[in-house]
Amino acid sequence: MEIILEALGDPGRYHVLITCMFAVTWWSMTFGAISMAFYGEPLKIKCNVPSRHISYSPNELPYLENSSVPFTNISMAKDECSYNITSVTNGTVTHSSHQCDSWTYLDGGREISNIVTEWNLVCSNHYKVSLTTTMFFVGVFIGAPIFGFISDQFGRKKTLAVCLYSHIPIALAISFMPEYISFTVFRLFLGVWLQGISTVAFVHCIEFFRQKYRGVVMVGFGMSWAVGQLLTTLIAYFLPNWRHMQRVSVALPLITLPYYWWLPESPRWLLVKGRFDEILKVFIQRAAKVNHVSGKLNWFKQQLEELKQTNILVASDAQPQSFVNILKTGILLKRLLAMCYSWCMASMTYYMFIFNTTELGGDIYKYYAIGAGLEIIVNFFTIFLMTRFGRRRPLFVFSFLLGVVCIVCGTIPRTLNLGIAILCFALLGRMAIAAVMCLIFVYAAELFPTFARGSCIAICGCSLRIGGMLAPQVIYLGGLVSPEFPYIIVAVMMILIGVIAIFLPETFGRSLPNTIEEAVDIQNQIEGSEPKMDESETISTITEQQEKLVVTTSNCDTKC
């Protein structure tokens, strides 16, 4: 299959086109993931005190308390969540405290309507905003293995279509939810379906490419994520009512309606299922026409026939490989744990910068628009860094840079008028974490042998989602302890990722490991070098890799 893909353009216009089409499907996932930053945007509040209470100036209180005239005075708590009442009746002074049950939201005249203003999710109910975000990522965590398995059984194309179009009623229903609990439950279900889109679209896309281009495809999806952020920000700016915003989001998957009739099934999945005629009909003929290599059709048919015969020979001889071997190999187990930690902490840091915008002192719309643009630039820049300096050194540098940025963001006194400085450091952090995310995705895919690569990536993906669940809770904890607390914690964690990178082997310029022995000794592997073996063993190994890669890659989970 690698030879066929190379002859089709390596890659050609067809590959670029389908990559763009697949990447667009991620916009729905992007909207679902970051829309809570706008739905739950914290606003300044003012307690609506019952009109029967009167406030006096501090200079008047001593005189009134010593008089025989009955009076009542109110004083507000600093957080606008409660008020104290001082009353004098027949010379007796009484003090009582009351919780606010109604607020005026100060939105700067934009007339913002979100779940905070509609359901009064402030003060003692403020935790519900972060809880809703966490529940969405619980759904994402659940959806990854479910739809990975379904796509293995029934194909990438059908599974992607189901996820793309069946989540539309759920997304639309959310905009009509009358209260908080039903809204949160439906958001959880939405997370399940959106993660199906994210996982299957990515796996479906990379199976059209040779191994050496998969890092570039990962970066391309990262750019799509950034474009999705920009679109979400524009929708939120022009539609300050969260219900209207949610309804408009349904248009994003509708853009992809023609996909089912135009996009082909994954050639690698068809290969595993033995459906060689479909590989020629739905993929090779189309790709050859768009890439202007239709003159090679007879050669493609010959290659498919040879591949078919090879698969028949290998099917009876293939030796089963087990992921358990990874767990039994100490050095690979350490790498897996290192990658799980790195993915989890990077995800938590990313979403902290996403959901904690207001605490950083910046304008939320400006921050997201500029941040999304910078992420696109960073993804291009990261490709250059990976091809120039490898994976390990850039990961070390960006992790330490991010740690320093987090310390600065957390320690700048909010009492100083340094809003622009805080915003600049926050954007620098967004750039650094975008680079870190890109690097660890590519790095993890190159550290493990082929037969277990998909399983290892799936486990790392679960860690990624755990980080997404933790982020809103860490932010909420920072509100209870101190604003500096989340950033100091994250700074330490990110610096530790940089330290871990020092002890990982460099994978740039090395051939992808196929066996445990090659993975352990990857530092000494040279790209293009393979262990010597006889011809029959070579054919068996290559074909087995192709089969295992398609089956296991479906479990791969990403940022997205």
21: pLDDT strictly greater than 80: yes
130: pLDDT strictly greater than 60: yes
User: What is the location of CATH 1.20.1250.20 in the chain?
Assistant: 329-530
**Cα(64)–Cα(67) distance, rounded to whole angstroms?**
5
Residue 525 has what pLDDT? 54
Residue 557 has what pLDDT? 42
* pLDDT tens digits for range 343-364: 999 999 988 888 776 555 557 7
* pLDDT tens digits for range 401-435: 899 888 887 777 655 566 677 777 778 888 899 89
The percentage of residues in the chain with a pLDDT greater than 70, rounded to a whole number, is 78
Q: Quick one: 77 exposed, middle or buried, by C-beta within 10 A (0-12, 13-18, 19+)?
A: middle
Please give the residue that has the higher pLDDT: either 450 or 532.
Answer: 450
336: pLDDT strictly greater than 70: yes
Residue 187 has what pLDDT? 94
* pLDDT tens digits for range 60-78: 445 444 544 444 555 555 5
Mean pLDDT of the region 484-496: 87
* pLDDT tens digits for range 247-261: 999 888 888 888 878
546: pLDDT strictly greater than 50: no
Which amino acid does the sequence have at 32? G
Residue 399 has what pLDDT? 92
Q: Which residues of 376-394 are buried (b: 16+ CB within 10 A; e: fewer)?
A: bebbebbbebbeeebbbbb
**Cα(395)–Cα(282) distance, rounded to whole angstroms?**
40
**Cα(293)–Cα(297) distance, rounded to whole angstroms?**
8
CATH tag for 329-530 (out of 3.30.70.890, 3.30.70.20, 1.20.1060.10, 1.20.1250.20): 1.20.1250.20
| Strand runs labelled E in 115-205 | none
The percentage of residues in the chain with a pLDDT greater than 90, rounded to a whole number, is 13
Residue 60 has what pLDDT? 46
**Cα(505)–Cα(442) distance, rounded to whole angstroms?**
13
Prior bond to 11 cis, omega within 30?
Answer: yes
**Cα(450)–Cα(462) distance, rounded to whole angstroms?**
19
Contact 180, 121 (CB under 8 A): yes
311: pLDDT strictly greater than 70: no
For 475, list phi and psi in degrees, rounded to 5: -60, -45
